[in-house]
Amino acid sequence: MTQLWGVRPRWRTDVLGDFFCPGCGGDRNYRRQHGRRWLRLFGTPVLPLGPVLGSVQCTNCLGRYGLESLEQPTSGRLTGLLRDAHYTIALALLAAGGTNAAAARTEAGELVRDAGFEDCGEAQLLAALAALLGLDAGEPVDLQADGGGLLVELHAALEPLAPHLAQQGRERLLLQGARIALADGRYLPQERAALTAVGGCLRLAEDVVDRLLEAATRTAH
Ligand SMILES: [Zn+2]
């Protein structure tokens, strides 16, 4: 039965989009809405009261969530970010170690294919590197000095991802870079510098990076 008097908001939709719905636990469509509370008589709005905070409604479960729920990336976007992170780390470590090392090329190729670039072979990786660096990275490259856009690429690929990964996930990414560096022997100074940059972009503390990289040398061989 409808109440005689009541107060309920009336919503207006500003934007439609897709988000990760905390209620459904998956990617869904949402409508972002703002509203105003209305005094209602038999359910009919008769008198506007104050505005209510904007919110997001899932079109699937109809749950209403705060605007901060839009800051969480969708699963689709997170997958894309992770794939790009793997790819960029592989490129950076391959450049830092020099592409003459066959074992490093193999390791980098595997990382990139495991990440979802199934058709990306060594040839494509080398071509991408040559294009970025403007040179043939046969010898180890100091990313800080001669890395072309690679350091920028690292920041662009890793920084948006870092807040959404647990510590363990960020450590795992760093260790995948370490594996490429160690594939052809111990860390070169260029590789060590590249891994430090990766750790920084992933918001890992310096002592954590040192400890992980040190541990990786003991398990690599
Ligand atoms: Zn939902």
Q: Report the alpha-carbon distance of residue 97 to residue 36 in Å, rounded.
A: 60
Query: What mean pLDDT, rounded, does the chain reach?
Result: 91
How far is ligand 1, taken at its centre, from the CA of residue 59, in Å?
7
Instruction: Give the helix, strand, coil percentages of the chain, each rounded to 5.
Output: 50, 25, 25
Instruction: Indicate the pTM of the whole model.
Output: 0.82
Q: Which fold has domain 75-216?
A: TerB-like (1.10.3680)
Q: List, for residues 152-180, the tens digit of each pLDDT value.
A: 999 999 999 999 999 999 999 999 999 99
DSSP 168: H
- Give me ligand 1 centre to Cα 159, in Å: 28
Q: Output the CA 60–ligand 1 centroid distance in Å.
A: 5
How many angstroms is it from 56 CA to the middle of ligand 1? 10
Q: What is the pLDDT of residue 116?
A: 87
Q: What's the 27 CA to ligand 1 centre distance in angstroms?
A: 8
User: pLDDT-derived band of residue 64, with 50, 70 and 90 as boundaries?
Assistant: very high
- With beta carbons less than 8 A apart as the criterion, state whether 7 and 38 touch: yes
What percent of the chain clears pLDDT 90, i.e. is strictly above it?
Answer: 68
57 Cα: distance to centroid of ligand 1 (angstroms): 8
Domain boundaries, the chain: 5-71, 75-216
